[in-house]
Amino acid sequence: PKVRQAMDRIDEGLSRGRIPAEVFGNPDIYQAELRRIFGRAWVFMAHESEIEANGDYVVRKIGEDSFVVTRDEHGQIHVLFDACRHRGVQICRADSGNSSHFRCPYHGWTYSSDGSLVGAPLWKNALSGMKKENSGLAKAAQVESFHGLIFATLDPTAPPLRTYLGGMAWYLDLVFGLDKDGVEVLGAPQRFVVDANWKSGADNFSGDDYHLGTLHKSVWSIGAFPVPFSENMMGYHIQASPGHSLSFSMAEYADEPGPNFFGFPESIAEHFDSVNISPEQLEVARRSRVFVGNVFPNFSILALPMTEDGANHAPTGILTIRTWQPKGPGQIEIWNWFVGYKNMTPEQKERTYHAALGTFSLGGSFEMDDTEPWLTVTRTGGSVAGELLGFELNYEMGMPGIGMATPVSDWPGPGKVYWTRYEEGVQRNLYQFYADMMRSEPGEWPEFEF
């Protein structure tokens, strides 16, 4: 009931553009999130290029629970609960690898990479007569891919992935479908632990462009981002569908032309075409300088021009995908993948990798700025003072009469669209769906509006 009351407070507060700070630090709310959000939503697991060969696997999480994402001997992908059917022991002790089988270290039950039980030691004496069929590893309720991005949900009643993505699919298309052969991850993901709540990451990547001029001022001053701040704010905020939000900066408002296509140079952009996407999607990608977005709950995407080291190199486009992996109300593990288009040359891939590494990575110039303030959001959210004072956070930017953001009606894509990025409806969209999910019972999905 306490959680329910907090969600009612969010719902009521959102109509005034306010959110109770406690959602960023209250342990009861966090426990409810593990069931009601991470136990039900489609959660990003891996990209198919991470498990290209049969037998490849990676270990990933849904909420705080481990799953082994495998490609079996027939090329099929499975998301297997990392727990032996016998006594629940963790069966996979590596982060990634290639194996046709997983053998439990306790008594030696052995499973194939599709999760089925294939044998156990001393079978005849110990287990003859037991049916193997219903003693395989447990699996995620549903698994689906979109542009090679593998998602899973623990809820058999969750709508299909494409329905869940709603209007966001149109925007994922125009990032991941630009190259007719798609994308691939460039190396293993970076992982680092930050004492922050997972929603601070989702909130930021839903389109918190307002922080750029203050928090990242130093990055601008060394020339790592090749677009002036005020020009960069010229673009669109889009509530693609309930929960999923994104933000574009558009190239056409620059004093000097370009960069287009998120800063990927002409030698790469010449391979972009509308084989897999519509001409309208290709045109929006061409006009775009920055794309940043979040698929509810914790999967974020960022594409933009960056230089490798300050002003000494010409900018190139970078594309990163990431998850804000919850590890408690006040901790996340950030998983950060660098992504390239398949048809880029090895030199182009190396260049985009270095530019991403120097900016949006553990030691990157942008990343180090962002994580520090999130620590203190969590502290505020879990504070006694915040609770006693009923402390609310302000998300009023872009509400009627607040600021200059205006609704846009002639935009070619789906969703509610606002012009200029001085706008916080993208975050209100995140928290509205969050509150709706937290208040609804498993099996009763909140209604999708578009």
86 binds, among Fe ion, ligand FES, none (CB under 5 to 8 A by kind): ligand FES
Helix (H, G, I), strand (E, B) or coil at 370: helix
Residue 175 identity: V
CB atoms within 10 A of CB 385: 9
CA pair distance 247, 233, nearest whole angstrom = 10
**If residue 300 lies in a helix (H) or strand (E), which one and from where to where?**
strand 299-306
Residue 420 three-state SS: coil
Any bridge partners for residue 256, and if so which?
Answer: none
Q: Closest distance between ligand FES and the C-beta of residue 64, in Å?
A: 20
> Smaller CB distance to ligand FES: residue 79 or 84?
84
Residue type at position 315: P
State yes or no: residue 370 binds Fe ion (CB under 5 A).
yes
> Nearer Cβ to Fe ion, position 288 or 359?
359
The C-alpha atoms of residue 299 and residue 280 are separated, in whole angstroms, by: 25
Identify which of residues 104 and 282 has a Cβ nearer to ligand FES in the complex. 104
CB of 441 to ligand FES, least distance (A): 33
Span near ligand FES by CB under 6 A; candidates 64-72, 106-114, 259-267, 411-419: 106-114
String of contacts with Fe ion for each residue 161-200, x by CB under 5 A: ----------------------------------------
**Minimum CB–partner distance for residue 91 and ligand FES (Å):** 7
Give the Å distances, CA to CA, from 41 to 165, 171, 297: 11, 19, 7
CB of 95 to ligand FES, least distance (A): 20
């519509």: which residue's tokens?
A: 278
Site string for ligand FES, 76-105 (x = CB under 6 A): --------x-xx-x--------------x-
Residue 107 touches ligand FES, criterion: CB under 6 A: yes
Residue 141 engages ligand FES in binding (rule: CB under 6 A) = no
Burial, 59: exposed, middle or buried (Cβ in 10 Å; 0-12, 13-18, 19+)? buried
Verify binding: residue 118, ligand FES, rule CB under 6 A.
Answer: no
Residue span binding ligand FES (CB under 6 A) among the ranges 49-57, 71-79, 107-115, 281-289: 107-115
DSSP 130: -
Q: Are 398 and 422 in contact (CB under 8 A)?
A: yes
Spatial separation of the C-alpha atoms in residues 397 and 424, rounded to whole Å:
5
Question: Which one, 87 or 162, has the nearer CB to ligand FES?
Answer: 87
Give the SS3 label for residue 339. strand
Contact (Cβ atoms closer than 8 angstroms) between residue 223 and residue 307: yes
370 binds, among ligand FES, Fe ion, none (CB under 5 to 8 A by kind): Fe ion
Choose between 57 and 109: whose C-beta lies nearer to ligand FES. Answer: 109
183: Cα within 13 Å, side-chain hemisphere: 26
Minimal distance, residue 118 CB to ligand FES, in Å: 13
Report the residue number, 68 or 430, with the smaller CB distance to ligand FES: 68
Question: Closest CB to ligand FES among 107 and 139?
Answer: 107
Closest contact distance (angstroms) between CB of 317 and Fe ion is 18
Residue 89 binds which entry of Fe ion, ligand FES, none, CB below 5-8 Å type-dependent: ligand FES
Q: Residue 168: enclosing H or E segment and its boundaries? A: helix 168-176
Q: Using alpha carbons, select from 119, 210, 249 the residue that is nearest to residue 395.
A: 210
Nearest-approach distance from CB 190 to Fe ion, in angstroms: 16
Residue facing Fe ion at closest CB distance = 370
Angle at 16 between CA 12 and CA 19, to 5 degrees: 65
x-marked contacts with ligand FES along 353-392 as a string, rule CB under 6 A:
----------------------------------------
* Identity of the residue numbered 165: L
Phi, psi for residue 232 in degrees, rounded to 5:
-60, -25
User: Closest CB to Fe ion among 235 and 265?
Assistant: 235
Q: Are 290 and 247 in contact (CB under 8 A)?
A: yes
Give strand pairing partners of 164: none
Q: Which of 67, 81, 102, 109 binds ligand FES (CB under 6 A)?
A: 109
Interface with ligand FES (CB under 6 A): 84, 86-87, 89, 104, 106-109
Interface with Fe ion (CB under 5 A): 370
